[in-house]
Amino acid sequence: MIFLVLPIASTIVIAEDFDAPKIEMENISGGINSVSTDIKNTGDTFAENVYWTISVKDVIPHRFRQISVFDSDIIECIPPGEVFSINAKIPKGFGLIKIDLKAEDPTASGFIIKSYGFVFGDIVIIFP
């Protein structure tokens, strides 16, 4: 008896890349009692419900005036190629600060910046 084995045709499904938003942050800067940055959508579709945070803390905490700021919000929609500016108010102080910035789109990507700066009274200077 002879058995004949025939291969069964199979289908391979390859997931294609779909257009997705891509979040980037740029232009971090200080100023008078504030830290700011720009959130940009460099993708091909709308970025929706983009959650962002800014955290600023003293590098060396001291007894008199500690700097500890946390601010966050949700941007409902950033169209492709558009820029949205965010900022956080910083109290008067003196000393080295650590800055953590984060923005993320729940469907695609996120972006994190860690930086340092210096507070001198009302003025916030961000190191390059």
Mean of the per-residue pLDDT values for the chain? Answer: 84
Instruction: Quote the DSSP letter at residue 44.
Output: S
| DSSP characters over 75-115 | EEEE-TT-EEEEEEE--SEEEEEEEEEEEE-TTS-EEEEEE
Give 20-49 pLDDT, tens digit per residue. 788 999 999 999 999 999 999 988 889 999
pLDDT greater than 70 at residue 58: yes
**Strand 93-104 versus strand 83-89 pairing type:** unpaired
CA distance 128 to 125: 10
Give 9-28 pLDDT, tens digit per residue. 444 444 444 577 889 999 99
Sequence spans of domains, the chain: 23-126
Residue 82: φ, ψ to 5° = -85, 155
Which of 115, 113, 125 lies closest to 25, judged by CA? 113
Select from 2.60.130.10, 2.60.40.10, 3.20.20.70, 1.10.8.350 the CATH code of 23-126. Answer: 2.60.40.10
Candidate from 53-57, 70-74, 82-86, 102-106 with smallest mean pLDDT: 102-106
